[in-house]
Structure 1
Amino acid sequence: MTRIERPLVRGVNKVTGAALGPYQTAVVRIGSAATWLFFLLREFPHRHEMYGPDGPWDWDMARQLISGNHAFTVLMWSDGRLWFEVVYALAMLSSALLMLGWRTRTMSVLFMIGVLSLQNRSIFIGDGGDNVIHLMATYLVLTRCGQVWSLDARRAARARAEADRTVVQADGQVDGQAVGRGVDRVGPVLWWVLGLALSVVTFMGELSGGWLLIFWGLWLAHGLWGAVGRRAPHGELRKLLDVLANIVHNAGLLLIMVEACLIYATAGWYKIQGSRWQDGTAVYYPLNLDYFSPWPALSDLLSSHGVMLMLVTYGTVAVQVAFPFTLINRRVKNVLLAAMIFEHAVIAVVLGLPFFSLAMIAADAVFLPTSFLLRLGGWAARARGAVVSRVPRSRPTLARLTRRGPLPRTPTDAQRDGKAAEHARVGFTP
């Protein structure tokens, strides 16, 4: 093997052998889903004016626009108020379940449907963060974003532990009760229900063209994955599906990284062309607009320091333009990444754009080092343990204990057995 072939072989093995960046994609999943969920909850009282039948951009106007750009939204299937409420509720539910990592493959698709349906219904509502969520929702469908920090990962760990405890009887037969406890029944039911819904929508003619192929392809791929996992979890076909899933995941991860770089690069180069960014006064003007001044006293304080505003203006442009080029140097990349995350946190507070900042931070998280994310996960686990330890627990009942296995021997039983042994040794009969 030549010197050129060795790196190529290592690269192919790395791309096909594992789903890269499990913690990074998990953070992008949690951050994107949480941002969209919090946005929907905040705008819940105003949902009819923003995306529903009471908005200035009414259903007929949206239908005319979508007939030209062919954007996907299920809100165009009906103009009824009940249908809108159902779609809005499902969008919130899928966001919450994706954030928790419950059935991430399915929830990522439903999350994408909810995001596209609401945003494409009223395209003139947004602050820039909606475009980031729009893109992340599409890319997350390609990734295996539930490998860690998810209910799916916890369920898989429990299944592996249950398999390790499977009892093999003396005649070589596996204990069927132990194996049955690890069988997934929710996944097939969910798959059949969604397949029935997709069949109804297809029969009604609401889906056509590319979107019809995409949803049916995803449904068939999920069904094949589940069937092979149940019947031949260690067979050759499952290994092949793992390789394909890894390739698709790594391609989706690369798309997220490239998209984040494009966002910063284009924003930085467009800023360079603006006269206000060239003379260092661009940051001054948003601080003096009522719409971007949730804290007028803070805005006035910041806008009164001209030199600081000039440094922030030039620094913002420099960081955004330079960031894609710093990916080849890990230390410099981490420094600029911390600076950009801090900048978005300041924008969230000073300019009153929390959801834009959260969306950008979620996209930036794909570049966070794994060591930092592991420490972050450890801090979260310790905080959760501290909170749970303070919650009083109910005493377990006899039925719950017996389901977990034989009851442990109490100190009273041990003492009683010890006394009986001593009596037998000395020949004493009570």
Structure 2
Amino acid sequence: MTTRQVWRLGNERVHLSVRGAGETLRGLTLRPLAPYSAAALRIGLAGLFTVHLLRELPHAGRLWGPDSPFTAALFAETMRTRGWDGAFGWWYGLLATDSVAVFYGWYTIALAVGVLYALGWHTRLMAVLFVFVVVAFYFRGCMANSGWALLSLLFANYLVFCASGRHWSLDARRRARRAGSGGRPPWGDETEELRRRAVTFLHNAGLGVIALQVMVVYTSAAMYKIRGVSWREGTAIHYAMLSDDFSTFPELSAWIVSHGTFAAFLAYATVFSQLFFAALVFNRRLKYAVLVVMLATHVGIGVLMALPLFSAITVVGDLVFLPTTFWLAAARFVRVWRAAPGEGAAGPAPRAGVEPGVEA
């Protein structure tokens, strides 16, 4: 092969690569990825936050309010020490008040925002307000936050950019009713197309960041585990079950301790599933297998180690990897299951990525 032929071959490959990258970028502005997963993330995150606030309502004043040992004065001093008293200091210290009426007023607003966001009522506005209240609670509880609080804060911020109200929301139902009107946007077709592309790109970018965050959590957790001798020897779960802090069901913990081989299998399965999660979750054949393993892991953590909120928020994060075909198949299964005997499913299933009456 001559030098000229090598040069031509190289140029052709470069042009093909650039063209492929351009087509991929164009696709990210035309087709929203996993809109059902975005809706599931919205419902799961807002639902968990609302349930958390309702569960802690009898203790809210001591956890975040005027009765807390971490008083408003101590919080203000902590803000100055950590450099939080800048332009957003009023926001971070929103719940740091000695007034019972003010605190429970904000608490009621937070509950209302969580419910409306889960229902998908004016989703764009509720997404911003939801971040507003989540940040306020996160900073007020900065001395006792857990992994659940951090992940809920991160997911809430990322979901602001996602079009999570296109399905399973009051907004979607309202758009479906207006679908037959055929109205045109007041700002023109070209501006509308530009808006749609920008919204689609931000939606895909937000879901991509959520997926990246989940993979970082699992990979970093696995790397941290393999540094410990007990995880490498397979005895980590055995010793964890011996701790009184993780004895939600002492009989079940004792059974696991008495079966050393099973405990070692659980330990190694946890480490390897987390370590190779990022590589396996994009494989069509292994995607559901690794997600089922992670689901079992989270259920085990929630039940055996009394960490239900952390387990639940990680399960919600895993939903970002489920494709539209999965949700459509699940919806079809529910329709068949709910149908009366002999009636069958209610109508044909919609095509993947398309829901009648809902803007794509």
TM range (shorter): 0.7 to 0.9
Partner-residue secondary structure (3-state), 1:146: coil
2-structure distance, mates of 1:137, 1:282: 32
Specify the alignment match of 2:300 in structure 1: 346
Specify the alignment match of 2:208 in structure 1: 254
The residue type equivalent to 2:57 in the other structure is F
* Conservation of the 8 A alpha-carbon contact between 1:319 and 1:340: yes
Specify the alignment match of 1:310 in structure 2: 264
Pick from 26, 41, 64 the counterpart of residue 51 of structure 1: 64
Specify the alignment match of 1:24 in structure 2: 37
Q: CA deviation at 1:357?
A: 1.0
Change (3 A) 1:55 1:286: farther
Pick from 64, 70, 75 the counterpart of residue 94 of structure 2: 75
Task: Please list, as runs of the form range in 1=range in 2, the aligned pairs for 1:27-426 lying within 5 A after superposition.
Answer: 27-67=40-80, 68-70=82-84, 72-75=91-94, 78-161=97-180, 163=181, 231-232=186-187, 234-380=188-334
1-structure distance, mates of 2:308, 2:247: 13
Change (3 A) 1:75 1:355: same
Q: CA deviation at 1:316?
A: 0.6
2-structure distance, mates of 1:288, 1:124: 27
Q: CA deviation at 1:76?
A: 5.2
Partner deviation per Cα, 1:384-411 (whole Å, 9 max, x = no partner) = 888xxxxxxxxxxxxxxxxxxxxxxxxx
2-structure distance, mates of 1:33, 1:54: 26
Q: CA deviation at 1:124?
A: 2.6
Change (3 A) 1:285 1:58: farther
1-structure distance, mates of 2:55, 2:305: 17
1-structure distance, mates of 2:136, 2:335: 35
Task: Return 295-304 or 247-256, whichever deviates more.
Answer: 295-304
Task: Return 288-297 or 238-247, whichever deviates more.
Answer: 288-297
Aligned residues: 321
Q: CA deviation at 1:86?
A: 1.6
Partner deviation per Cα, 1:225-284 (whole Å, 9 max, x = no partner) = xxxx8633x522222122211221111111101100000010000001012212211112
Q: CA deviation at 1:349?
A: 1.8
TM-score when normalising by structure 2: 0.83
2-structure distance, mates of 1:93, 1:383: 33
Q: CA deviation at 1:8?
A: 2.3
* Conservation of the 8 A alpha-carbon contact between 1:23 and 1:148: yes
* Conservation of the 8 A alpha-carbon contact between 1:20 and 1:250: yes
Misfit runs of 4+, over 6 Å: 382-386
* Conservation of the 8 A alpha-carbon contact between 2:185 and 2:192: no
Partner deviation per Cα, 1:320-341 (whole Å, 9 max, x = no partner) = 1111122442222321111101
2-structure distance, mates of 1:105, 1:384: 32
Change (3 A) 1:356 1:93: same
TM-score when normalising by structure 1: 0.70
Specify the alignment match of 1:219 in structure 2: none
Partner-residue secondary structure (3-state), 1:53: coil
* Conservation of the 8 A alpha-carbon contact between 2:64 and 2:95: no
1-structure distance, mates of 2:134, 2:47: 12
Backbone CA RMSD of aligned residues? 2.2
Q: Which has the larger radius of gyration?
A: 1
1-structure distance, mates of 2:307, 2:322: 23
The residue type equivalent to 1:26 in the other structure is A
Show structure 2 runs of 5+ residues with no match.
Answer: 1-11, 341-360
1-structure distance, mates of 2:98, 2:30: 47
Partner-residue secondary structure (3-state), 2:16: coil
The residue type equivalent to 1:351 in the other structure is M
Partner deviation per Cα, 1:167-209 (whole Å, 9 max, x = no partner) = xxxxxxxxxxxx8xxxxxxxxxxxxxxxxxxxxxxxxxxxxxx
* Conservation of the 8 A alpha-carbon contact between 1:75 and 1:83: no
Identity %: 34
Change (3 A) 1:110 1:379: farther
* Conservation of the 8 A alpha-carbon contact between 1:108 and 1:137: yes
The residue type equivalent to 2:34 in the other structure is G
